[in-house]
Structure 1
Amino acid sequence: MKSYSINELLQSPPLKQKVEVNGWVKTFRSNRFIALNDGSTIKNIQCVVDFERFDEDLLKKIATGAALKIKGVLVESLGKGQSVEIQAEEIFVHGLSDPDSYPIQPKKHSMEFLREQAHLRIRTNTFAAVMRVRSALSFAIHAYFQKNGFYYFHAPIITGSDAEGAGEMFRVSTLDPKNPPLTDSGEVNYKEDFFGKETNLTVSGQLEAEAYAMGLGKVYTFGPTFRAENSNTSRHLAEFWMIEPEMAFYDLKDNMDLAEDFIKNIISYLLENCEEDLAFLENRLLDEEKTKPMAERSDMKLTERLKFVVDNEFIRITYTEAIDILRNSKPNKKKKFQYLINEWGADLQSEHERYLVEKHFKCPVILFDYPAKIKAFYMRLNEDGKTVRAMDILFPGIGEIVGGSQREERLDVLKEKIAALGIDEKELWWYLDLRKFGTAVHSGFGLGFERMVQFTTGMGNIRDVIPFPRTPQNAEF
């Protein structure tokens, strides 16, 4: 007998045939109706039990959270809420569940409570929907790049360089923390460490991806990155995933074109393939919005927000133009912004980015040509000597979601920028080599995967879009 997923039974029901399903009990009502879910869909399948057919001791074992195999005939349902149901003929208990101690009861749980049960929260409708969307988004990302001639590149997780220059990195070492070897000057002697130098977990695969783009043409990374930022906010994780394409012979305009097309493509895939999960998450978000003050409520439903990105051309303006708009905006003049815009060179905050997208332009925005002093050393310096060919993509409800740039391909200029920041050339000798041997215009961008999952699911906290979040003082699972 074929074992079906619940999604298969609901999509193409083999009516009046004997079927087999496996799953976990959501509810067992009136000692007669089992709601079973196997994770393949947001929907449960109802299994109807004739209690005269089954041993009473067996029925006592069926409780919320128990894992069952059920065999029976699939028939049209006469009850409300489901189109088909299984008339149970055989029940096998894979694993028992204690109804008194099982944490995921059929009731509303707070997000904080579910984070404490991260190993079981996937059995809730919300987290199952989020993780199915996350999986679909991963597939769409790989499919897009493979279709467009990119090669998947695995960047090293252990690195000796700080691509972002932030210094907030996790050290990797095999030295005895209580008694490390010391140099004559009393400092830790990393020459005796495993790699013979100080190493860390990577914050970005960009620099290494640049190297491979300068031989393969177009590459992309999609892997874990790490940042030791002691930040307990709804937007930060210590471990997160990044998508970072790098393209040889692409200038800033090419980079912006690719990023816009890429984002529209992957969101379109979700709209076409995750309809049920998105509908559930949209209703969940609507209920959540009702609890917020009017001023904090979103003007758009979840699917409207996704279509807003897909259906609109992204407006492209310079940082300088954006500063002029913000400086003269009502929120700035009336001092409604938390961070007032007074002069050119200010680092834009989420409130400024969202104003541009949601209030001023009413469409996604790409800002470019940022002040060099607030951007990374590897971004190409413009002819004005004060701006770089950087670009950020701004979304409704979230602000910046993509950051990228045309990379600095001129050896002399790159050396000057490195020296100005006090970076030792020896640390980046191989990166400078790329400018010595066949240098060329090239560009790339980075998309924080969890940030995109958060946007597409409407979840308010980034800790709820990754299976096991890593944050300050939290590595429980």
Structure 2
Amino acid sequence: MKPSSVKELLSTTPSHQEVLVNGWVKTFRSNRFIALNDGSCLNNIQCVVDFEAFDEALLKEIATGTALQIEGILVASQGKGQSVEIQVTTLRVHGSADPETYPIQPKKHSLEFLREKAHLRVRTNTFAAVMRVRSALSFAIHKYFRDNGFYYFHAPIITGSDAEGAGEMFRVTTLDPKAPPLAEDGEIDYKEDFFGKETNLTVSGQLEAEAYAMGLGKVYTFGPTFRAENSNTSRHLAEFWMIEPEMAFYDLDANMDLAEDFIKEVLSYILENCEEDLQFLEKRLLDEEKSKPQAERSEMALIEKLKFIVENNFKRVTYTEAIDILRNSKPNKKKKFEYPIEAWGADLQSEHERYLVEKHFKCPVILFDYPAKIKAFYMRLNEDGKTVRAMDILFPGIGEIVGGSQREERLEVLKEKMNTLGIDEKELWWYLDLRRFGTAVHSGFGLGFERLVQFSTGMGNIRDVIPFPRTPQNAEF
């Protein structure tokens, strides 16, 4: 007999048919009622055991966490809370779980405790729901780009360039750390290394994606990226996933149009396909916020917040307009901002971005035309010589979720910017070649996937939306 999932069985009309299901025991009550879950959905299926029909030793093996195979008859449930249940005819224990040592018991566990049990935490309702939403978002992302004529591009994970220019990269080397070869100047001689040069884990696939966009038209990356930033906060990971589309013949306006449409489509997908999990996560969030002071509680429930993004047009505002708004705002005048806005050129913080979205405009915001000094070298310089064609999308609750720009397609302008910032042309000769041979207007953006999952699930810590978080001093699993 072919096994069915719990999700399939819960939506099946019972007619005393024989069924087979595998899963893990959530609870076993009165030696009679097994609540079984296989991860396919939030709800368990009740399996009713006639204890007189089974060996007592077998029943003693069944406890929370035990993996079972159950055969039985699917019938209408006699109890409340479920429409169907299984009258068990055959029980097989795949693997037992000692109730004295199994850590995921049917009670509330703190998120901090569950991070220490990251290999088992997906067996809780919260993490199973988060990971199902994460999976649905992944599918929606690929579907959106496929439906819109993009090609999926695999950017290299090992790279010799720093796309962000921040220098916070993990080195990749085969050299002996105790006795590395040295050059005449006493520095490590990376010519002796595996790749013949200094290499690192990538912080972004953007530069390579630009190259392929200039041949395939529209491409996107969706893969792991790495940042050696020693930030032990609820917002940072050392390993995270990035979505980075790059489009030839797109200017900044087309880039903003695409980013807005993309976000609305993927959030619409989970609203339509993850209703049960989102409702559970919303209730969890509401329960969690009851313990917070009123001022710290979210103004919108989770599903309402997702619909807020999907149903509202994003307000487009220049950086200069935003600075004027922030400079004249009550929080700034009353010195309520942790980082006061004093002059044009300030790098906006999350508190400023959230004020613009949540208090001033009351809708998602796209800021554009930022000062060149606070943005990356590859962004197109405007005619004023002071600003670049950059854009950030700001969301309620988190601030920036997308960063992008129209890329600098003019060879001489790009070379001048690189020289000013001390970026060696020899290191990025191939990137400059894109401007020498058939250059064209092009644009792209980056979206940190975990930020999107965090927003979509209401989880407060980014470590709880990735299966095995990599953070400073933590690579346990």
Q: Same-fold call, TM > 0.5?
A: yes
CA distance in 2, matches of 1:198, 1:249: 34
Supply the AA of the counterpart residue of 2:151.
Y
Query: Which SS does the other structure have where 2:21 is aligned?
Result: strand
Aligned pair 1:85/2:80, yes or no?
no
Aligned pair 1:376/2:376, yes or no?
yes
Aligned pair 1:334/2:334, yes or no?
yes
Query: Where does 1:261-410 land on structure 2 (aligned, <5 Å)?
Result: 261-410=261-410
Query: Residues 377-427 of structure 1: CA distance to partner in whole angstroms, max 9, x if unpaired?
Result: 000000000000000000000100000000000000000000000111100
Supply the AA of the counterpart residue of 1:342.
E
CA contact 2:14–2:84 (8 Å) conserved in 1:
no
- 2:173 corresponds in structure 1 to 173
Query: Residues 194-247 of structure 1: CA distance to partner in whole angstroms, max 9, x if unpaired?
Result: 000000000000000000000000000000000000000000000000000000
CA distance in 2, matches of 1:344, 1:143: 40
* Unmatched segments (≥5 aa) in structure 1: none
Supply the AA of the counterpart residue of 2:440.
A
- 2:184 corresponds in structure 1 to 184
- 2:433 corresponds in structure 1 to 433
CA distance in 1, matches of 2:121, 2:2: 29
TM-score of the aligned structures, taking structure 2 as reference length: 0.99
Return the offset for 1:329: 0.8
Query: Which SS does the other structure have where 1:4 is aligned?
Result: coil
CA contact 2:327–2:341 (8 Å) conserved in 1:
yes
CA distance in 2, matches of 1:190, 1:267: 45
Return the offset for 1:14: 4.0
CA distance in 1, matches of 2:2, 2:79: 26
- 2:38 corresponds in structure 1 to 38
Query: Residues 117-152 of structure 1: CA distance to partner in whole angstroms, max 9, x if unpaired?
Result: 000000000000000000000000000000000000
CA distance in 2, matches of 1:12, 1:145: 34
Query: Residues 159-207 of structure 1: CA distance to partner in whole angstroms, max 9, x if unpaired?
Result: 0000000000000000000010001111100000000000000000000
Calculate percent identity across the aligned residue pairs: 84
- 1:121 corresponds in structure 2 to 121
- 1:208 corresponds in structure 2 to 208
Return the offset for 1:445: 0.1
- 1:6 corresponds in structure 2 to 6
CA distance in 1, matches of 2:326, 2:268: 31
Return the offset for 1:12: 2.4
CA contact 2:14–2:76 (8 Å) conserved in 1:
no
Query: Which SS does the other structure have where 2:146 is aligned?
Result: helix
Supply the AA of the counterpart residue of 1:182.
L
CA distance in 2, matches of 1:346, 1:81: 55
Supply the AA of the counterpart residue of 1:49.
V
Query: Residues 267-286 of structure 1: CA distance to partner in whole angstroms, max 9, x if unpaired?
Result: 00000000000000000000
CA distance in 1, matches of 2:196, 2:291: 55
Query: Which SS does the other structure have where 2:89 is aligned?
Result: strand
Query: Residues 320-369 of structure 1: CA distance to partner in whole angstroms, max 9, x if unpaired?
Result: 00001111111111111111111100110111101111111110000000
CA distance in 1, matches of 2:351, 2:442: 31
Flag as ranges the 4+ runs of structure 1 deviating above 3 A.
Answer: none
- 1:158 corresponds in structure 2 to 158
* Unmatched segments (≥5 aa) in structure 2: none
CA distance in 2, matches of 1:206, 1:71: 51
Return the offset for 1:13: 3.4
CA distance in 2, matches of 1:192, 1:134: 42
What count of residue pairs does the alignment treat as equivalent? 477
CA distance in 1, matches of 2:24, 2:306: 32
Supply the AA of the counterpart residue of 1:19.
V
- 2:252 corresponds in structure 1 to 252
CA distance in 1, matches of 2:167, 2:270: 36
TM-score of the aligned structures, taking structure 1 as reference length: 0.99
Aligned pair 1:416/2:424, yes or no?
no
Supply the AA of the counterpart residue of 2:55.
D
Return the offset for 1:258: 0.2
Query: Where does 1:135-146 land on structure 2 (aligned, <5 Å)?
Result: 135-146=135-146
Query: Which SS does the other structure have where 2:52 is aligned?
Result: coil
CA contact 2:151–2:219 (8 Å) conserved in 1:
yes
CA distance in 2, matches of 1:333, 1:22: 62
Return the offset for 1:15: 2.9
- 1:459 corresponds in structure 2 to 459
CA distance in 2, matches of 1:2, 1:435: 58
CA distance in 2, matches of 1:146, 1:17: 40
Query: Residues 242-273 of structure 1: CA distance to partner in whole angstroms, max 9, x if unpaired?
Result: 00000000000000000000000000000000
Return the offset for 1:2: 2.8
Greater shift in the superposed pair: 70-79 or 139-148: 70-79
Query: Which SS does the other structure have where 2:236 is aligned?
Result: coil
Return the offset for 1:59: 0.4
Supply the RMSD in Å over aligned alpha carbons: 0.6
- 1:98 corresponds in structure 2 to 98
